[in-house]
Amino acid sequence: MRDLSWDGKGVKREDFIPDVVWVRRADGWLVPLDRAEDPEAWLALVNGGDSIVIQADDGERDDGRGIFPTSSSSAPAVMSRMLDLLDVREVMNVLEVGAGRGYNAALLVENSILQYG
């Protein structure tokens, strides 16, 4: 597997994650975790290896809780595997049409610059 530098060098995942993310409580509800209110917990989540829920219930609820994740940032290992399988080469053009936060596109760009720049 290609080494895509998940250790804070290069593209930082935190630059692509919103300030409010959602975490699941023991009672099953998703609740917001705000970077401004708990920066250490937010950063630990962002720098961890799990996917991150960035929207719950399509943003429809107004009681500060959620049930269903409706948008997320994939786990770093999943993104790395997808890019490995894509196997981008120097002569290729890539159109990355995502509905996410732009992190995958940034990884593609950085990886192409590091390999072929």
Q: What is the pLDDT of residues 25-70, one digit of tens each?
A: 999 999 999 999 999 999 999 999 999 999 999 878 888 899 999 9
Instruction: For the chain, state the CA radius of gyration.
Output: 16
Residues 6+ positions from 2 with CB-CB distance below 8 Å:
80, 83, 84, 111
- pLDDT tens by residue, 46-57: 999 999 999 999
The CA–CA distances, whole Å, from 71 to 3, 55, 97 equal: 26, 5, 16
Model-level pTM?
0.81
Domain range summary for the chain, segments of one domain joined by +: 13-116
Give residue 48's Cα distance to chain centre: 10
Residues 6+ positions from 111 with CB-CB distance below 8 Å:
2, 4, 83, 88
